[in-house]
Amino acid sequence: MNNDESVLAKCLFFTSNRLSNIMRKVADEAFSNLEIASSYVYLLVVVNQYNGITQSELSQKLDIAASTSTRFVDKLVSQGILKKEYDWKTAHIYLTDKGRDVCEQIDDCFENLYRCCVDILGEDVSNNLAKEMWEASEALTKKGY
């Protein structure tokens, strides 16, 4: 390995972004039978768990910007998967019947994603990597990042 590759391989920022880009492709394949892009899946998971969640709470739970949350929700509303109901100025997000149908398919897609990772990385590496990445993100969040 030359010096450039060595620097990149030791950089947590670079390697985490590289893994994220690769995992996005793996997730896109695992969730390909859904009517939505894989980037919307976690939003649906949260809305399914917290039906009537506010736009602000949704952004916080997903750790995304409010503008991103709004864009994602509006896209899913236009597809008939979510609906918004307003209480004064506060938007509450709900699944539609179509949204509940999509959510029923998500568990199988998660299983496909898990199986793909386990087949390539092995069960221990896959589980430990997810756990360590979660713990690292929690530690950095507690430090204010």
pLDDT tens digits, 7-20: 888 999 999 999 99
42: number of Cβ within 10 Å: 15
Quick check: 145 pLDDT over 60?
Answer: yes
Strand partners, 87: 90
What six digits make up the tokens of 36? Answer: 């939505």
CB atoms within 10 A of CB 27: 21
Q: How many domains does the chain have?
A: 1
Residue 75 lies in a domain: yes
How does pLDDT run across 105-143, given as a tens digit for each residue?
999 999 999 999 999 999 999 999 999 999 999 999 999
* 68 falls within a domain: yes
Specify the residue for token string 């918004």: 84
Please report the pLDDT score of residue 1 as a whole number.
47
- Contact call for residues 86 and 92 (beta carbons, < 8 A): yes
Residue 130: name the closest of 8, 5, 26 by CA: 26
The CA–CA distances, whole Å, from 19 to 12, 43, 126 equal 10, 21, 12
In a domain, 110, yes or no: yes
What tens digit of pLDDT does each residue of 22-69 get?
999 999 999 999 988 888 999 999 999 999 999 999 999 999 999 999
Is 5 a domain residue? no
Q: Give the pTM.
A: 0.83
Domain that holds residue 99: 35-142
DSSP string, 103-123: HHHHHHHHHHHHHHHHHHH-H
CATH number of the domain that 72 lies in?
1.10.10.10
Say if CB 33 and CB 105 are below 8 A apart: yes
Would you state the pLDDT for residue 3? 59
Rounded to whole angstroms, the Cα distance separating 87 from 95 reads 17
